[in-house]
Every structure is written in C-alpha cells, then in structure tokens.
Amino acid sequence: MAHYNFNVLGQDVSFKAEADPKRIEQARILLEERYEKLQQHGKQLSKEKLLTFLALALADDMLQAREEMQKSEQKVQSILESFATKSPDQTGNVICCTSLGRT
C-alpha cells in the first residue's frame, strides 16, 4: 500500500491507498480545477461552502456515471439475451440481430 503526502486546496494531506499513483494525481488535479471554477463563480462564498458544493458536484458526477453504466450494462445484457434466443442458420451465423441494427 502506497503512502501519499501532498497539498490539495491548501490542505496538507497524508494517507495510504492501494490506488494507482497516477489516478491519485489525476484526482488531486480534478479537485483543484473544479474548486477553481467554483471559486470564480462564487467569490463571496466561504471555503467551506465551496467545498460543500464541490463535494455535491462530484457526487452528482458519480451518480450520473453509475446510472449511465447501469444503462449500458442493461443494454449489453439485452443484446446477449437476444443472441441467446436467436437460432443460428446452417452456417452457425445468427439469423437476426435487430438489437444491433443488422440482419
């Protein structure tokens, strides 16, 4: 498990994680960039409120990504089920693949 020490948003942070160091750095950069954007639009807001908005925005991004992933998984499952219910012709090719837009 790697040990990380760095400064993010003016705070010294120290933790251990099994995550890839590149991903940790990407996460730090994302936080800094998103915080700067929020700060530009909410100059009168306290740091605590900006961090709360940042947390909410990142949580919303994660929920949207999860929803998109679930839809994609459902579509893949539907396609796989469609293949499983189709009868192959004499050459072993599937006769109809309407889910993929091919015949």
Specify the number of domains making up the chain.
1
Q: Helices marked H in the chain — which ranges? A: 21-41, 47-85
Over the Cα atoms of the chain, what is R_g? 23
Q: How does pLDDT run across 3-58, given as a tens digit for each residue?
A: 999 999 999 999 999 999 999 999 999 999 999 999 998 889 999 999 999 999 99
CA distance 43 to 22: 31
* Cβ count within 10 A of residue 35: 19
What residue numbers bound the domain in which 34 lies? 2-100
Structure tokens given for 9 = 């948003």
Q: How does pLDDT run across 52-99, given as a tens digit for each residue?
A: 999 999 999 999 999 999 999 999 999 988 888 775 655 566 555 554
3-state secondary structure of 95: coil
Paired sense of beta strands 2-8 and 11-17, if any:
antiparallel
